[in-house]
Amino acid sequence: MRALPAVAAANAVMVFDSIPGEPETAPFIAWCLEQGKTVHLPEDEPPPDPRTIDVVIVPGTAFTRDGHRLGQGGGWYDRFLRTVRPDCVTIGVAFRPQIVEELPVEPHDIRIAIVVSDASEDDVS
């Protein structure tokens, strides 16, 4: 697995446990654990201290190349991402068709730093 520099350098990673229709995260989670990284899931109890997380892997229904994200409408990630350290790297993962030119953006939406897709030439940073 080729790791982005931020992921390679991370000690603690938050990553979603994928559901059908989302990019599969189980191999990434296994790789992180093999590398000795602490892995947090959004549903962990108790929730992790957001200040301890170095990288957050974020799902979405669509992303723009410049990091705007359309979630599922609950706002959990937007609220959570407001609480991470400024140097925490946010990475949206998507299938190529989920990367679009424009999305509606609201003031509370948090932009993702990096968007990667299953088509490596389309990876955006």
Single-letter residue type at 100 = V
* CA distances from residue 19 to 23, 24, 119 in whole angstroms, order as listed: 8, 8, 20
Grouping H, G, I as helix, E, B as strand and the rest as coil, residue 10 is coil
Give the phi and the psi of residue 61 in degrees, each rounded to 5. -85, -25
pLDDT score at 1:
61
- Cis-peptide, bond into residue 5, ω within 30° of zero: no
> What residues in the chain have per-residue pLDDT under 50?
122-125
**Segments making up each domain of the chain, as ranges:** 5-122
* CA distances from residue 114 to 49, 65, 81 in whole angstroms, order as listed: 22, 8, 14
What is the architecture, at CATH level 2, of domain 5-122? 3-Layer(aba) Sandwich (3.40)
* CA distances from residue 35 to 3, 62, 66, 102, 106 in whole angstroms, order as listed: 11, 30, 29, 36, 37
pLDDT score at 124:
46
Q: Distance between terminal CA atoms of the chain?
A: 18
Q: What is the pTM of this model?
A: 0.92
pLDDT score at 122:
43
* CA distances from residue 63 to 6, 73, 109, 111, 123 in whole angstroms, order as listed: 20, 14, 12, 10, 12
Going by C-alpha positions, the residue among 22, 111, 28, 104 that lies closest to residue 61 is 22
pLDDT score at 74:
87
pLDDT score at 119:
81
